Amino acid sequence: MMNKLIFGRYIPGDSLIHRLDPRAKLVASFYFIGIIFLANNWQSYLFLGLFTLFAIMLSKVDLSFFIRGVRPLIWLISFTVILQMLFTRGGTLYWSWGIFSLSEYGIQNGLFIFCRFILIIFMSTLLTLTTPPLSMSDAIESLLGPFRVVHVPVHEIALMLSIALRFVPTLMDETEKIMNAQRARGVDFGEGNLIQKVKAVVPLLIPLFVSSFNRAEDLATAMEARGYRGGEGRSKYRLLKWSGRDTAVIIAFAAVTVVLVFLRS
């Protein structure tokens, strides 16, 4: 069930995109999501689409991964698009029934929103597919760095993030084990009506919680035994290196913004 989830997975590779500084990638992705909202006609969407495809090509990751990334969200997307189509009026009216209508503007708006969704998902999937989770948490720590001034516990956030990421597969394995153990005792997961389904989750959730507490305690002891005493006076093993190509990426995104402003109507 969890293996199908593409979102948040990392595909090892050695492309230009893979080698970029994670900070550059993170900033660029967020920036891209921001400027998508600048686009308001088909020329600008086409331009953004081509740009995204170009980025995907550079990453040398198979396009099918991205399409699979969209799949779990397809219902949300269709729902939004259909609502948008049915409730927007304007332009030529093709069909109408009560409060529902299908108009030129409605269809156009629906398609734009569809493009917007796809572009956002493609770009964020590109980020997660080409960046190891660990570098991502490094990038977040580094980018949050300035907030130290206003007493944001940056080191603690980064540590929690990296421990959380490290324990994801461990806890997944454990979930599977508990599920099978409970199945062996006759618990039916995913059977019956909603209430029965929710009830079946209890014998999975409680052991999982309890074992997480135990894990946390063991881990804290182990960390303390290895001399961990907070963020102060620590050195760093992993280093992020900002290079010329990272600056180039940022410049490319600035250029995209300029073109976009020209294209929009």
Partner 1 sequence: MDPIIEVNQIEFSYQEDTPPALKDVSFTINRGEWIAIVGHNGSGKSTLAKTINGLQMPQKGSVKVGGQVLSEESVWDVRRMVGMVFQNPDNQFVGATVEDDVAFGLENQGIERNEMLKRVTNALEQVKMTSFATREPARLSGGQKQRVAIAGVVALRPDIIILDEATSMLDPEGREDVIATIRQIKEENELTVISITHDIDEAASANRILVMREGQLYQEGTPGEIFSAGPELVSLGLDLPFPEKLKMALKARGVEVPTTYLDEEGMMDWLWTSVLKK
Q: In angstroms, rounded to a whole number, what is the distance separating the alpha carbons of residues 246 and 25? A: 8
Please state the closest distance from residue 58 (CB atom) to partner 1, in A: 24
Applying CB under 8 A, among 150, 184, 225, 258 the residue interacting with partner 1 is 225
Q: In angstroms, rounded to a whole number, what is the distance separating the alpha carbons of residues 80 and 58? A: 31
Applying CB under 8 A, among 69, 106, 110, 133 the residue interacting with partner 1 is 133
Applying CB under 8 A, among 72, 145, 169, 192 the residue interacting with partner 1 is 169
Please state the closest distance from residue 169 (CB atom) to partner 1, in A: 4
The yes or no reply on residue 229 touching partner 1 (CB under 8 A) is: yes
Please state the closest distance from residue 57 (CB atom) to partner 1, in A: 27
Q: In angstroms, rounded to a whole number, what is the distance separating the alpha carbons of residues 139 and 142? A: 5
Q: CA-based angle 134:140:146, to the nearest 5? A: 145
Query: Pseudo-torsion of CA 90, 91, 95, 96, nearest 10°?
Result: 20
The yes or no reply on residue 244 touching partner 1 (CB under 8 A) is: no
Q: Cβ closer to partner 1: 63 or 160?
A: 160
The yes or no reply on residue 173 touching partner 1 (CB under 8 A) is: yes
Q: Cβ closer to partner 1: 192 or 231?
A: 231
The yes or no reply on residue 162 touching partner 1 (CB under 8 A) is: yes
Q: In angstroms, rounded to a whole number, what is the distance separating the alpha carbons of residues 185 and 203? A: 11
Helix locations, the chain, DSSP H? 16-19, 22-36, 42-59, 63-70, 74-87, 104-130, 133-144, 154-184, 194-225, 244-263
Residues within the interface to partner 1 (CB under 8 A): 133-134, 137, 162-163, 165-166, 169-170, 173, 214-215, 218-219, 221-229, 233-239
